[in-house]
Amino acid sequence: SQKFDIDDLHRIAAICREHRVKSYLTVNTIIYDEEMDSMHELVDQAKHAGVTAIIASDISVMRYALEKEVRVHISTQCNITNLEAVKFYAQYGDVMVLARELRLEQVHHISQGIHKDGVKGPGGEPVQLEMFVHGALCMAVSGKCYLSLDNMNYSANRGACLQLCRRSYLVTDKEEGYELEVDHDYIMSPKDLCTIGFIDKIMRAGVSIFKIEGRGRGPDYVKTVTECYREAVQAFVDGSYNREKVDDWTERLRRVFNRGFWDGYYLGRTMGEWSERYGSQATQRKQYLGKISNYFGKLKVAEITMETHAFGVNDPLMVTGPTTGVVEFTPREIRVDLHPVNIAEKGDTCSVKVPGMVRRGDKVFKLISREELF
């Protein structure tokens, strides 16, 4: 994923505040003595930028953040699996990101214990529980994997995982040199976590914060996944959560990047489920068309410079941009040189009506089904 530096941190936090969105800075890597000054500067800048909280796993980060009165979420890499661990980390953090290997019964026991024993964080409020509900999973417990470090000298515990687990492998007979291809499942590549079908059980277990994995994912992934889970939470609150809605959310989630879905260990499974093919299994793909070259606000019309491929009337389109975010629409009319056409071809400059504001330089995609590609 694209990196950002400390100067970007202030701008990102300001954008979040403008849109009433909380901001969290992940500082959950292993820290060495020679990096203490850099870590201190990062936490200081997070405070000055107004970041909501930092996510930490190293005690040195937690202690310094506490000293600077920066709110801390305890990372899943601390592998919190019991109430006593919660009590220990409560001196540093107001929120505990629980281990992904827990059953919901165990989560509920921890939640009850927090309220029964009055376990409070530095902020003086009862500790909150946070859990992963969607996205990529690591094959290792709590993400503590050494495969990338051992093979390529890039440490997953230092934020540099090369995801070697996602590849296919051969098994070699060392005596004769025979090779067998492991060709059914990608045996080290877990399917993605998807809990949309039992969000009600997670909330009843006492979890108040949902964590969605999405490192390096596009804006369409972020938009779709957050929308679906927000709708699911609201449906649980207002009593309208049902199987029909779950099926609709699941179908929408399948359209964006995924490696297939399973429900993790929360419902009592003891073995994982593995990806059946390399890369995304999304039922919908984006085909790049071109860029927005102009936008006429009063008319709500966008001008598109077509660089690749073509699109026609009633083809679903998506516009993405760093400020625009995601705008999806289906054009009912296309104009080239002010004349209506059925198809805009590569090289054309066309205009279409759009439902929301877009900006010059935004990218335009056609949404097509997986079957159309293969």
Evaluate whether 311 touches 289 at the Cβ level (below 8 Å): yes
Q: Which residue type sits at 138?
A: C
Return the pLDDT at 337: 93
User: What does the angle CA 282 – CA 287 – CA 292 come to, to the nearest 5 degrees?
Assistant: 130
d(CA 205, CA 109): 8
Q: How many Cα atoms within 13 Å fall on the side-chain side of residue 282? A: 21
> 3-state class of 360 per DSSP?
coil
Per DSSP, helices labelled H in the chain are: 6-18, 36-49, 59-67, 83-89, 104-116, 147-152, 199-204, 219-238, 243-255, 370-373
Quickly name the fold that domain 6-135+196-215 has. TIM Barrel (3.20.20)
pLDDT in tens, the chain (374 residues): 567 788 899 999 999 999 999 999 999 788 999 999 999 999 999 999 999 999 999 999 999 999 999 999 999 999 999 999 999 999 999 999 999 999 999 999 999 999 999 999 999 999 999 999 999 887 777 677 777 777 777 777 777 777 777 787 788 888 888 887 776 666 777 888 999 999 999 999 999 999 999 888 889 999 999 999 999 999 999 999 999 999 999 999 999 999 889 899 999 887 667 676 777 788 889 999 999 999 999 999 999 999 999 999 999 999 999 889 999 999 999 999 999 999 999 999 999 999 999 999 999 999 998 766 55
pTM of the model: 0.84
- Sole residue written with tokens 């990196």: 3
d(CA 161, CA 188): 14
**Cβ neighbours around 313 below 10 Å, total:** 15
The residue ranges of every structural domain in the chain are: 6-135+196-215, 141-181, 284-373
Domain 284-373 has CATH 3.90.10.10: no
Tokens of 365: 């995609």
Tokens of 329: 């629409």
Return the pLDDT at 184: 61
Evaluate whether 253 touches 261 at the Cβ level (below 8 Å): yes
User: If you write DSSP's letter for every residue of 207-262 in order, what string do you get?
Assistant: --EEEE--TT--HHHHHHHHHHHHHHHHHHHHT---HHHHHHHHHHHHHSS-S-EE
Q: Are strands 349-353 and 301-306 parallel, antiparallel or unpaired?
A: antiparallel
